[in-house]
């Protein structure tokens, strides 16, 4: 169906009145540029058109980067809030037994991990120590276990954080649940001068939850707060 002169005039008037309607429509602009190139013929190289295409490609990349940065910012904010909530919950208990209980339940749920284990090195026989009877969250080990388990040695700052994917967890740390663990976050802990180090291990059934490519700043901060809370109970 052909357009009448009246319809074309009305369309022309609308375009003149609102030219930005076409300028902001990417598909319309592409159609106009293509029509202009056809009108010029095959023997003419439109350098302006080539430049426009390159600018459009660069703009598309910038927009994609912009979206990625915003998504990362939101994810980081969500992670920060999550760590803050876990810290507040961790500081609530008035005794060490409830502190450990909350660590394996409420704190683990907030952090969305399947298992949380606290490993403390001890010179005493593991079977006879009172500390080993405070629940399944607490694990005692011989001196040197932390450095061996993380395979990073000891750190003067106590801020070593290891994220890794594993075929299954350590039976020493996760006991009967070891076969379900597919990734873990290991936070080395320093409890003060003269004390043996410790290790906070977060285990996940999801192999993608903890990977070496992820950032560790928030977990390092959580580990620092956890150290200070533990020093209160160990004093």
Asked if 218 and 152 touch (Cβ cutoff 8 Å), the reply is no
Look at residue 153 and tell me whether its pLDDT is greater than 90: no
Residue 68 to residue 74: CA distance in whole angstroms: 10
**CATH top-level class for 72-234?**
alpha beta
Going 223 to 120 to 116 to 180, the CA torsion angle's sign is positive
Alpha carbons within 13 angstroms on the beta-carbon side of residue 19 total 1
More confident residue, 156 or 95: 95
Asked if 86 and 225 touch (Cβ cutoff 8 Å), the reply is no
Residues 6+ apart with CB under 8 A from 42: none
The helix/strand/coil state of 164 is: strand
Model confidence band, residue 173 (pLDDT cutoffs 50, 70, 90): very high
Model confidence band, residue 2 (pLDDT cutoffs 50, 70, 90): low
What pLDDT is stored for residue 128 in this prediction? 46
**Which of 71-75, 77-81, 117-121, 179-183 shows the lowest mean pLDDT across its residues?**
71-75
Mean of all residue pLDDT scores within the chain: 82
Residue range 4-40, pLDDT digits in tens: 776 777 877 777 777 777 767 777 777 777 776 666 6
Q: Which helix (H) or strand (E) holds 202?
A: strand 198-204
Model confidence band, residue 130 (pLDDT cutoffs 50, 70, 90): low
Picking from 76, 78, 73, 110, the residue whose alpha carbon sits closest to that of residue 91 is 110
Spell out the domain ranges in the chain: 5-44, 72-234
Look at residue 156 and tell me whether its pLDDT is greater than 50: no
Q: What is the CA radius of gyration of the chain?
A: 30
In the chain, % of residues over pLDDT 70: 83
Picking from 200, 229, 212, the residue whose alpha carbon sits closest to that of residue 111 is 200
What pLDDT is stored for residue 48 in this prediction? 66
**E strands, 9-166, in order:** 115-121, 138-141, 161-165
What pLDDT is stored for residue 155 in this prediction? 46
């Amino acid at each position: 169906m052909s357009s009448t002169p009246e319809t074309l005039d009305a369309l022309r008037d609308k375009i003149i009145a609102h030219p930005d309607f076409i300028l902001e429509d990417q598909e319309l602009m592409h159609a106009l540029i293509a029509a202009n190139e056809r009108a010029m013929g095959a023997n003419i190289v439109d350098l302006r058109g080539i430049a426009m295409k390159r600018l459009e490609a660069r703009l598309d990349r910038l927009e994609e980067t912009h979206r990625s940065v915003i998504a990362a910012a939101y994810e980081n904010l969500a992670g920060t809030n999550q760590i803050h909530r876990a810290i507040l919950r961790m500081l609530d208990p008035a005794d060490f037994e409830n502190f450990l209980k909350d660590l394996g339940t409420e704190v683990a749920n907030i952090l969305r991990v399947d298992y949380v284990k606290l490993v403390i090195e001890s010179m005493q026989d593991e079977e006879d120590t009172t500390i080993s009877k405070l629940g399944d969250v607490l694990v005692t080990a011989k001196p040197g276990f932390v450095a061996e388990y993380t395979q990073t040695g000891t750190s003067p700052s106590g801020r070593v954080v290891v994220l890794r994917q594993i075929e299954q967890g350590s039976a020493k740390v996760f006991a009967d649940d070891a076969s379900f663990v597919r990734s873990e976050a290991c936070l080395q802990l320093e409890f003060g001068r003269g004390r043996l180090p410790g290790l906070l291990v977060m285990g996940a059934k999801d192999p993608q939850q903890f990977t070496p490519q992820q950032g560790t700043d928030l977990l390092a901060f959580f580990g620092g707060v956890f150290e200070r809370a533990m020093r209160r109970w160990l004093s």
